[in-house]
């Protein structure tokens, strides 16, 4: 947890409460690569790599 939050181990153990650490860790990015899900939430109109999408802005 200290590596993900950018804190020293001393800070994690002695300077913050458990509730604070839970709030801090909720802001960490998560990477869910479960390919069995069929729910595709990707919106192609938001793809910045496609120049044709710049006209929609």
Q: What is the mean pLDDT of each run of 10 residues along the chain (57 residues)?
A: 82 89 83 64 74 73
Ranges of each domain in the chain: 1-28
Output the pTM of the full model: 0.44
The angle at the Cα of 31, spanning 26 to 37, to the nearest 5 degrees, equals 115
Q: What is the pLDDT of residue 19?
A: 92
What residues have CB less than 8 Å from 53, skipping those under 6 apart? 44, 45, 46, 47
Q: What is the pLDDT of residue 37?
A: 60
């Amino acid at each position: 947890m200290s590596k993900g939050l950018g804190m020293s181990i001393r800070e994690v153990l002695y300077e913050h409460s458990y509730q604070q650490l839970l709030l801090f860790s909720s802001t960490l990015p998560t990477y869910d690569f479960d390919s069995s899900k069929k729910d595709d939430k990707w919106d192609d109109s938001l793809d910045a790599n496609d120049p044709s999408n710049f006209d929609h802005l």
